[in-house]
Amino acid sequence: MESKTAARLIEMNREFYTRFGASFSATRHRIQPGVRGVLGLLKGDESILDLGCGNGELARELGRRGHRGSYLGIDFSLPLLKEADAQSEGFSAKFLQIDLTELSAFSPQLSLESGWTVILAFAVLHHIPSVELRLDILRTVHQWLQTDGMFIHSNWQFLNSEKLKA
């Protein structure tokens, strides 16, 4: 993909989530079944980095489950992060505004000396508009994980929906 095209798609994505972040968030107050399955794999003491954390619903669910490990959620959408930060009571979740297309530039701030136990990217990588940018994210994730850490991601399956396929 041409870098000019990728830059325009990134800008469109930023504009959308800045303009419609609050209304988008209103439709995202439940944990997807696949994510619930992943949560069942956790012991509760993992250090978790959540890429594209959105409105913090996952952090709230971890709090309800009594998660004791550290949690850092990052997203570029300030409206979504404001909601995430306002509703993380009872759980020491932290949230930062960072654009995933620039993730590797934040290595000094986001990498842990011992590495992250779990890095998550639920329904986010399909928003990254080029193979090069996605590979940069994956390389960064690999560097930040503990040797036995887990990277867990999901992507929308556009071609499985007749509406989206059209």
pLDDT tens digits for range 79-88 = 889 888 876 5
Lateral strand order in the sheet of 71-75: 93-97, 71-75, 48-51, 116-122, 145-154
- Give the pLDDT of residue 100: 94
* pTM of structure: 0.84
- Give the pLDDT of residue 92: 84
Q: In which band, very low, low, confident or very high, does the pLDDT at 56 lie, cut at 50, 70 and 90?
A: very high
Cα separations in angstroms, 120 against 39, 45, 104, 127, 150:
11, 15, 16, 15, 8
Tokens 């499985």, residue located: 160
- When the pLDDT of each residue in the chain is averaged and rounded to a whole number, the result is 87
Cα separations in angstroms, 77 against 1, 51, 56, 64, 82:
24, 12, 12, 24, 9
Q: Is the pLDDT of residue 164 over 90?
A: no
- Give the pLDDT of residue 89: 63
Cα within 13 Å of Cα(1), Cβ side: 15
Q: Is the pLDDT of residue 158 over 60?
A: yes
Q: Is the pLDDT of residue 70 over 90?
A: yes
pLDDT tens digits for range 122-153 = 989 988 988 999 999 999 999 999 999 999 99
Contact 76, 99 (CB under 8 A): yes
Write down the CATH number for the domain with range 3-165.
Answer: 3.40.50.150
- CB-CB neighbours of 49 under 10 Å: 25
Q: Is the pLDDT of residue 24 over 80?
A: no
- Give the pLDDT of residue 9: 82
